[in-house]
Structures are given as C-alpha cells and as structure tokens.
Amino acid sequence: MKITWHSHSCFELEDSRRIVIDPYLDNNPAAHAKSVQFNPDLIALTHAHADHLGDAAQIARRTGCLVVAISELARYLDRLGVRTEGMNLGGSLRVGEIVLRMTAALHSAGITQTDPPLCGGHAAGFVIEDGTSVYHAGDTALFSDMKLIGELYRPEVALLPIGGRWTMGPREAALAASWIRPEVAIPMHYNTSSAIAADPAEFQELVETLCDTEVVILEAGDCLEY
C-alpha cells in the first residue's frame, strides 16, 4: 500500500482502490495540493468539523466517488448531492475489496459550517483494510479501548494525532501506540497552526521507550510504501 500524508489529518491510501481520508485541502495552509488534483474512488470522513470534512462534497460531486461517514453526517451530505454510505461506531462496511470498520473517537462532531450548527453524529476513527490494515484514529483523546482496537483488528499502520489542545498530544499518542502496537505509527494533526504546534521527534522518542513500533515522520506530500 502507498500511504501519502497531505498534512493535518488528510491521508491518501492506494492499493486496490484510491481512498482519501478527511480531505482538508483548499483552506489548509499546510497542504501542498488542491482538491481538484484528487480523483479518489472513496472518501472516508472521521467527523464533520471543517478541518476534516474539508472539500469532501466538492470532490465527491466532481468525481462521483462514494463518501463513507457516520450516519448523521452521511444524511447531511446526501442533501448536498453526494453519494454516501452511512455507518456507525462498531460497524463494518465492505466496498469492493476494502473493509472499513468504524471505531470510537473521543471528540466533538458538530457540523459547524451551518448557522446554526447541526448535529454531526459522533466523532469516529477507521480501521481500513485493503491489503494493509490502517488505523486512522481521527481527532481523539486517549482512551483505554484503543487496547481493544489493537487486539481485535491488529492494524499494521496507525495514524495518530499529536497536536494537543483539540486532541491528544505526543505523550498520550505514544501511550496509544504502545497499546495498539502497530508495526508503523505516523503522527498527524500537528503544526497546521500555532494552536497545535508539536514536535514529532518527541513523539518518536516516547514511542521508542514504550514499544518496538517504528515511527515514520512524513512531510506534507511524502508517502510511505508499506
């Protein structure tokens, strides 16, 4: 699998299909690419906040790709002319050769782009299996059921937020990695703005003291071939 980080929480996974997670691009100061450059087969959304929902509707309407999200967010996108599949925490969905499992995340999830804001359901993460098993934690605090995610799904790659303030920071994310025990952990959701400034090397050092997971630090646009 080819895993490309497009900054913040946006990743592109390429194996049997091209999957984009949380396509926050056009209004993202750290992104190196614009939404018009993306032609995914599937978009997976962890929650409705603008820095995760991002350009999903525009990309999906242009390409006709499927968007997978928690049920309330999927229904909202339906009204915007997007082809969706809704699911919920603990559920699984097969799309071709891909299996998506929706995991919990501890975070808020309102649709803040509307006035007044709308209910966006619950924040979530995904374990996506397409040759390689990848856990995208979404925006989340540390929670002990991450141990169960590791035990049940055994993800080979974990994408973990480290920016603090809105999510867990490096210390908590390192503990999460030690519970999940993926072969590779990639930090995300940091340094997009000063509010979430973090040093990924700190995360790397902490993980190395806790477990044998390899930490791979990417720059925006970099990819990992796994």
Q: Contact, 144 vs 177, CB < 8 A? A: no
Q: Show the tokens assigned to 135.
A: 């856990």
Q: How many CB atoms lie within 10 A of CB 192?
A: 20
Per-residue pLDDT of 53-96, as tens digits, reads: 999 999 999 999 999 999 999 999 999 999 999 999 999 999 99
Kindly tell me the sign of the dihedral angle through the C-alpha atoms of 63, 65, 68, 74: positive
Instruction: Of 150, 99, 128, give the one whose Cα is nearest residue 22.
Output: 128
Domain 2-220 fold: Metallo-beta-lactamase; Chain A (3.60.15)
Q: What is the pLDDT of residues 5-37, one digit of tens each?
A: 999 999 999 999 999 999 999 999 999 999 999
The pTM score is 0.98
Q: Return the ∠ at Cα 25 (arms to 165 and 81), rounded to 5°.
A: 110
Answer for the pair 59, 65: CB distance below 8 angstroms, yes or no.
yes
Q: How far is CA 30 from the centre of its chain?
A: 16
Residue 47: band (very low, low, confident or very high) from pLDDT cuts 50, 70, 90: very high
Encoded tokens for 224: 């990992």
Distance (Å, whole) CA 133 – CA 116: 38
Residues 6+ apart with CB under 8 A from 212: none
pLDDT for 118-150, tens place per residue?
899 999 999 999 999 999 999 999 999 999 999
Q: Which residues contact 92 (CB under 8 A, 6 or more apart)?
A: 99, 100, 101, 102
68 sits in the region (left: phi over 0; alpha: psi -120 to 50; else beta) called: beta
Domain ranges of the chain: 2-220
